[in-house]
Amino acid sequence: MDLVGTVAAAAGLFAGTNVDDLVVLTVLFLAARTTGLPRPWQIWLGQYAGIATLVAIAGAAALGLTLLPDRWVGLLGLVPLALGVRGLVAAFRSDGTAAPPVASGLVSVAAVTIANGADNIAVYTPVFRAIGLADTLLTIGVFAVLTAVWCLAGAWLGGHRRVIDVLGRWGHWLVPLVFVAIGLVILGGLL
């Protein structure tokens, strides 16, 4: 196990698949400052519950994939690649004004995180299957740390309107591009 490489890859994977969560968290913390709902602790716990659910589903799916021959696992890179291409097509077609959903309590924050990150399962599953148990556990640990970083960043950004405008304008391009890159890396394992 390459500790530094695994941590760096996990950080990149988390950042790439959760850029949209940063936008949602920023809006949630902005709402908490202006309306009082959701409360900051509900945002934190809801985000952790949502990410944990996504990781658990992806982990279970990765275990199920152990039934596939190793040479076929790389084909799973087609899933994030397709999601990324679909996202790019949607970004080309949209006017870029779609607003992230807003939640009002712990359960709704978790639900928004799960709904917003359902595509993360498609990315995490083949990665968890390809990297093995030890690296998967380390990756999950990195995800836990970075979830806190995302919450802190969302809270900080929630006080800066210009930042929200910039993320809203470019976030819909960044996420699909990262998914395409992840898909190509997974497919590259076939060569």
Enclosing H/E stretch for 47: helix 40-64
What confidence score (pLDDT) does residue 159 get? Answer: 80
pLDDT in tens, 95-128: 655 544 456 789 888 888 887 776 788 889 989 9
Which of the pair, 38 or 69, is modelled with greater confidence? 38
What confidence score (pLDDT) does residue 101 get? Answer: 45
pLDDT in tens, 20-44: 788 788 878 887 887 788 999 999 9
pLDDT in tens, 41-59: 999 999 999 999 999 999 9
What does the pLDDT average to over 1-23?
A: 90
What does the pLDDT average to over 155-171?
A: 73
Residue 81, helix vs strand vs coil? helix
pLDDT in tens, 125-158: 989 988 989 999 999 999 999 999 999 999 998 8
Which of the pair, 190 or 39, is modelled with greater confidence? 39
Q: Which domain range does residue 101 map to?
A: 3-188
Cα 57 to Cα 155: distance, rounded to the nearest angstrom: 27
Find the largest Cα–Cα distance for the chain.
Answer: 53
Q: Count how many domains the chain has.
A: 1
Q: How far is CA 79 from the centre of its chain?
A: 15
pTM, rounded to two decimals: 0.74
Residue 46, helix vs strand vs coil? helix
What confidence score (pLDDT) does residue 186 get? Answer: 66
Which of the pair, 189 or 9, is modelled with greater confidence? 9
**Residue 166: band (very low, low, confident or very high) from pLDDT cuts 50, 70, 90:** low
Q: What share of the chain is helix, strand, coil (3-state, %, to 5)?
A: 85, 0, 15
